[in-house]
Amino acid sequence: MAFTYFLGGSLRAGAVNFTQNYVTGIPFLAREVGAKSLKAEKLYHKAMFDVAIGKDLSPVEARMLDEMINKGIAEDQYIRQITREVKAGFSQHVGQLIDILGKPFSWIERFNRKSAALAMFRVKYDQALKSGQKA
């Protein structure tokens, strides 16, 4: 029941999970685009905005995100595993409540995965186009 106590329904847990973009995502992207300017931050924030709004995606970007979703890569895998284990010993109604309590954390986790993938995809796609590779 630690899940319910620490993560279940907690907007704070979702907010802390949102910082994952700044702690790991942006520095990782900066290795690709250079860390001396704010280029990585600008690219990442643009990707986060586009994922949140769902617009300004090229057809190839939309296809990449759809493929991530269809393959389960963009899913909140860890929280799903936890909720499955917690629900195992309870009734269906309690299981539904546990699913609802996990939503804030799940939404942010999926958002983080899509944002990180879109930001890096844009960088790598541009690099491939500039080098003359078939994209």
Tell me: the pLDDT tens digits for 7-46?
A: 666 777 778 888 888 998 999 999 999 878 899 999 999 9
Of 111, 110, 102, nearest to 84 by C-alpha is 102
Tell me: the pLDDT tens digits for 87-109?
A: 677 777 777 777 777 777 788 88
Report the percent of the chain where pLDDT is more than 90. Answer: 38
Q: State if pTM tops 0.85.
A: no
